Chains A and B, each alone.
Chain A
Amino acid sequence: MSHVWRPLFVALALVAGILIFRTFYVPKDFGVGEAGYMYGWHNFTNEKFWKEIKVKYQGSGQCKECHRENFTSIQKTPHGIIPCENCHGPGVGHPGKIAKLPIDVNRLLCLRCHAILKYPNSDRGKIRGIDPATHQDPNVECVTCHDPHNPNLGVLKKSPQRFPVYEQESKKEGRTAK
């Protein structure tokens, strides 16, 4: 046989090698889905991986099971639209591992909506707001005077000490509520 053919055999051996390597290396479930050749190539078991990620935000429906009183009372106020977990944190592991969810009483939490921004093309402009720099003492949490579960200004001014949330937090930090 002519030596001219030898490079061809080398090339064929390379191709065969790659094909053999490929059969072992590419996972069995690697294929094309409904999305077609251009967009569909993937390992099908990876879809399962994404479906099994743990859910952290449980939804206010779960809070209602035990905290019915708080759940129903806030529904009567404008704050009823805010899901519990926005302020109380994701409910995963509670009750159980996490006996008490940490409550965010930071002033910045309230300012997300209530720092005044008079924007004409956004519903933000319709929310009652304050100027964070000039409204009361910027170092005092809003919950000192306002009850987030009953954000009625008239009621609050009459009974400013009824804020169990703030008292809990204050005790923790060695401060007094007043």
Chain B
Amino acid sequence: MDRRDFLKRTITIIAGAAIPASALEFIDPKRLLAAGSSDYKWVFLADTQKCVGCGFCVKACKLENEVPYDADVSRTWVERYVICKDGKMRVENGMPNPGFGINADSPKAGRDGFTTPQIDIGEGRHVEVKEEDISKAFFVPKLCNQCDNPPCVQVCPVGATYKTADGVVLVDRSWCIGCGYCIMGCPYGVRFFHPLLKVAEKCNFCYHRITKGMKTACVQSCPFGARQIGNLKDPNDPVTRTIMYGRVGVLKSEYGTKPQVYYLALDREVR
């Protein structure tokens, strides 16, 4: 082999190695058509001013989606935030409050509502904030953000969780191996291990309802209109209009997940 041959072969090998495997894939037109595109892009809007913490949404969700009612897991939940004028946490009998610097709770995911000013700080302990000490107090409904860049889908080693064309992240129960990577990967903590089916479980915007033209169970059961679902591809949808022209916030935007649950009257204390 002379110098010229060596250089020629080297260039050929480098050029060959640079072609990505996907470029060589034969694209089946049938498969492309099957994947299709959708006229829908589901988004959610939650109003933390309108939410009164009645918890009817959590109850409806658990019954609608057959999530074990008394198990400490839920696809959606309601959080209470009580922020004091002095900016400090309240403590009980000198014991530390395990909260992260604020008084917040979500007993039983808010399934039975909030019927007492006592804040549940875990381990059966409660603290109470005096009415005159409250600077801000409100409720925040939480559910899956159906991220445009879903970290839970990215980490799934078997392709059991995926994002549909209409923007909802689903779990294939027959394909899930229960490794739990997605549960760890979700920055919002919306995923959990289904105690009976032993697979990853999550909110899917009641996919069986929205695809039939119904509202999600939580939206339908909310008497105050604090929860709304809409189609971002419909410019006249009231939810779309609020997201486009109103002032909305999202949770943990710094993670780059592009969450699709938008909040009205969000506070910086909400995590």
A contact set with B: CB distance below 8 Å: 30-35, 37-44, 46-47, 49-57, 59, 81-83, 85-86, 89-90, 108, 111-113, 115, 117-124, 127, 132
CA distance A82 to B137 in the complex (A): 24
B126 to chain A, nearest CB (A): 14
B118 to chain A, nearest CB (A): 11
Q: Which of B112, B174, B267 contacts A108 (CB 8 A)?
A: B112
CA distance A82 to B220 in the complex (A): 10
B231 to chain A, nearest CB (A): 16
B139 x A39 contact (CB < 8 A): no
CA distance A172 to B54 in the complex (A): 28
Q: For chain B residues 61-88, which have a beta carbon within 8 Å of chain A?
A: 63-65, 82
21 contacts between A and B (CB under 8 A): A34-B38, A40-B163, A42-B175, A46-B162, A46-B172, A49-B174, A52-B208, A53-B207, A53-B208, A54-B208, A57-B60, A83-B220, A85-B221, A108-B113, A112-B56, A113-B113, A115-B116, A119-B134, A119-B137, A122-B48, A122-B53
A34 x B37 contact (CB < 8 A): yes
B212 is an interface residue with CB less than 8 A from chain A: yes
B163 x A35 contact (CB < 8 A): yes
**In the complex, chain B residues whose CB is within 8 Å of the CB of A113:** 52, 54, 113
A120 x B220 contact (CB < 8 A): no
CA distance A51 to B212 in the complex (A): 8
CA distance A155 to B102 in the complex (A): 43
Interface residues on chain B, number (Cβ under 8 Å): 64
**In the complex, chain B residues whose CB is within 8 Å of the CB of A81:** 223-224
CA distance A127 to B134 in the complex (A): 18
A177 to chain B, nearest CB (A): 25
A56 x B63 contact (CB < 8 A): yes
A32 x B116 contact (CB < 8 A): no
B64 x A120 contact (CB < 8 A): no
Say whether, besides A47-B164, A86-B56, A132-B115, A56 and B137 are in contact (CB < 8 Å): no
Chain B residue nearest in CB terms to A132: B115
Say whether, besides A42-B159, A55-B209, A82 and B223 are in contact (CB < 8 Å): yes
B163 x A122 contact (CB < 8 A): no
B62 to chain A, nearest CB (A): 10
A78 to chain B, nearest CB (A): 10
Q: Which of A51, A59, A121, A127 contacts B136 (CB 8 A)?
A: A121
Q: Which of A35, A50, A122 contacts B165 (CB 8 A)?
A: A35
